[in-house]
Amino acid sequence: MNEDQGKSEEELMAEWEAMAAEGEEGAPESASVAAAPQREERILNQDEIDSLLGFDQAASKTLSGWKVLVDSHQISYERLPMLEVVFDRLVRLMSTSLRNFTSENVEVSLKNMSATRFGEYLDRIPLPTLIGVFRSNKWGTWGLLTMETALIYSFVDSLLGGRKTSGGLKIEGRPFTTIEQRLLERLFSVVLEDFTTSFAPVDDVTFSFERMETNPRFATIVRPVNAAIVARVNVEVDTCAGYIEFLIPYSSLEPVRDQLLQMFMGDKTGQDDIWENHFSQEVWQSNVTLEAVLDRVCVSLGDVLNWEKGSFVDLRAKPESPVYIFSGDKLVLKGRTGQRNRNIALQVDENFIEHHGEPSS
């Protein structure tokens, strides 16, 4: 039995307290100074925490801090100026065509255009819904048309002669009937005809209605991670208002991306006929410096350094040897030397400006 086991618990605790007190009294001054900064801990306030995490976005719309990493899956919308012009034309066309289709007062306006992931867009679609899948016959690509549920009921009531309500329509949450689906197919076909007409100045493409889906999973046209453009068009039918959304993947617009990046119709260099004619006339009147090369020899640097005034360089050219005419570094003519009216002349055998050829070795 050792000494510690023979002591009582109270005696052991008293010894430990005494040892701790002696350690604090005998500790060096440098240790206490080094430990002092640890006791002065500053707690961040809420504003500093929000700024660190990137949630302080009241004054600036730019993401910062950890929120940049959290929202790294988001994509930026590439501005396509001509696509905005296309949808502006579509809004004007839809206002007229939907009035004729429903015989009601319809107002159409473009709300916004944004970019999203295709999978995220499908997850945001509220149920029940009707999704129209359309196809571009020329590009061989696909797109989606979705309509707000309240607006669907409003169009169906208007087409079937239902009563006009002063407020919004109540959404029952039931699946859409076959008659409602057929009526919406006709409505989507009218919208796609206007979409085709609005795209005519950019490209001769035709959008046709393909099928109607009630389950977003069956409306998958690209991979969920693919980027897409979503254009929301607000539609007001008498007292009821809703929206129609066009979803077009970026890959679908790749065939006409260059045209959609233009700032206005015909934004191409060299389309001004007056400037082209003036430029061509000035080019024909410009002066060009030509250099005739009789022969080329390869000489070592040591021989060049030994050249003196009166030194000779032997050329292998003969009177019948061809002469090459250069304009800068570009070969333009090839011919033979001669004499005409006591002047050295050149008879042109080949014109490389027209034929873009190279001299034969």
pLDDT tens digits for 198-222?
Answer: 988 888 888 999 989 888 888 888 8
The answer on pLDDT for 6 being more than 60 is: no
Residues 6+ apart with CB under 8 A from 106: 94, 95, 98, 99, 235, 236, 237
| pLDDT value of position 41 | 66
The residue-averaged pLDDT of 294-317 equals 83
Q: What angle do CA 4, 8, 14 make, to 5 degrees?
A: 90
Minimum mean pLDDT range among 1-5, 10-14, 294-298, 323-327:
1-5
Longest dimension (CA), the chain: 137
Spatial contact of 237 and 150, defined as CB atoms under 8 Å apart:
no
Q: Which one, of 126, 189, 181, 191, lies nearest residue 153 by Cα?
A: 181
Helix (H, G, I), strand (E, B) or coil at 112: strand
17 Cβ neighbours under 8 A, 6+ residues apart: none
Sequence-distant (6+) residues with CB within 8 A of 99 are: 105, 106
Q: Is the pLDDT of residue 142 over 70?
A: yes
Distance CA 13, CA 257 (A): 82
pTM across the whole model: 0.54
Q: Looking at the structure, give the CATH architecture of the domain made up of residues 289-355.
A: Roll (2.30)
**Per-residue confidence (pLDDT) for residue 327, from 0 to 100:** 84
Is it the case that residue 4 has pLDDT exceeding 80?
no
Contact 78, 206 (CB under 8 A): no
Higher pLDDT, 271 or 72: 271
Average of per-residue pLDDT values in the chain: 77
The CATH architecture annotation of domain 81-260 reads 3-Layer(aba) Sandwich (3.40)
Answer whether residue 65 shows pLDDT above 80: no
Structure confidence at residue 48 (pLDDT):
73
DSSP 8-state class, residue 341: T
The answer to whether 44 touches 65, Cβ cutoff 8 Å, is no
More confident residue, 286 or 162: 286
> Which pLDDT belongs to residue 359?
47
320 by DSSP, 3-state: which?
coil
Q: Return the domain boundaries, the chain.
A: 81-260, 289-355
- pLDDT higher than 50, residue 59: no
**What percent of the chain has pLDDT above 70?**
73
Yes or no: say if 201 and 265 are a contact pair by the CB < 8 Å rule: yes
Calculate mean pLDDT across residues 58-77. Answer: 51
What residues contact residue 97 under an 8 Å CB cut-off, 6+ apart? 190, 191, 193, 194
pLDDT digits (tens, 9 = 90+) for 225-280: 888 889 999 998 877 888 899 999 888 888 888 888 877 655 454 456 787 788 88
pLDDT, tens digit, for every residue of 99-131?
A: 888 888 888 888 888 888 888 898 888 888 889
What is d(CA 5, CA 177) in angstroms, rounded to the nearest whole number? Answer: 88
Per residue in 348-361, pLDDT (tens digit) is: 888 887 644 454 44
User: Which residues, other chains included, contact 336 with Cβ-Cβ below 8 Å and sequence gap of 6+?
Assistant: 320, 321, 322, 323, 346, 347, 349
Q: Is 11 helix (H, G, I), strand (E, B) or coil?
A: helix
The two three-digit tokens of residue 104, written as one number = 């009601």
| Model pLDDT, residue 49 | 72
